[in-house]
């Protein structure tokens, strides 16, 4: 499964991917983190554009802080555009803990691997908070 990494979550994602790899999950589960520049997104792309690019490219958006404030906020976009065939947005509840708390980080890894393996169970869920 490909995860589109929110532009301000790149460092966190590298640490998460390192944990995924060190646990040996990549031998069993194809997980890849895709950065904005790889799909032609700018760091100031609207939430609507980011969500659509993720959906169009069959990627799960991995984020920690997309807003809920305006007509193009991620929450509004999901309310308007989400279907039973939409991939979820995975939102890390506490980005700082990913960096500083190995137990929290491992719980996030476990949930991400679960979501990658059982993606069909999460279709249409809109947002999944982890850990």
Query: pLDDT tens across 52-75, in order?
Result: 999 999 999 999 976 667 788 898
Q: Where are the domains of the chain?
A: 2-130
Q: pLDDT digits over 76-91, tens only?
A: 999 999 999 999 999 9
Residue 29 to residue 64: CA distance in whole angstroms: 23
* pLDDT confidence of residue 70: 77
- Structural fold of domain 2-130: Rossmann fold (3.40.50)
Q: What is the pLDDT of residues 95-131, one digit of tens each?
A: 999 999 999 999 999 999 999 999 999 999 999 999 9
Q: Which pLDDT does position 32 carry in this prediction? A: 97
């Amino acid at each position: 499964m490909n995860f589109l990494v929110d532009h301000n979550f790149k460092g966190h994602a590298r640490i998460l991917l390192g944990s995924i790899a060190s646990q040996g999950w990549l031998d069993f589960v194809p997980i890849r983190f895709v950065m904005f520049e790889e799909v032609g997104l700018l760091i100031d792309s609207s939430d609507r554009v980011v969500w659509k690019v993720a959906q169009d490219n069959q990627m799960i958006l991995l984020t920690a802080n997309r807003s809920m404030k305006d007509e193009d906020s991620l929450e509004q976009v999901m309310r308007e555009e989400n279907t039973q065939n939409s991939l979820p947005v995975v939102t890390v509840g506490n980005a700082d803990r990913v960096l500083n708390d190995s137990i929290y980080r491992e719980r996030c890894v476990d949930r991400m691997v679960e979501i990658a393996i059982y993606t069909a169970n999460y279709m249409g869920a809109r947002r999944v908070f982890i850990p």
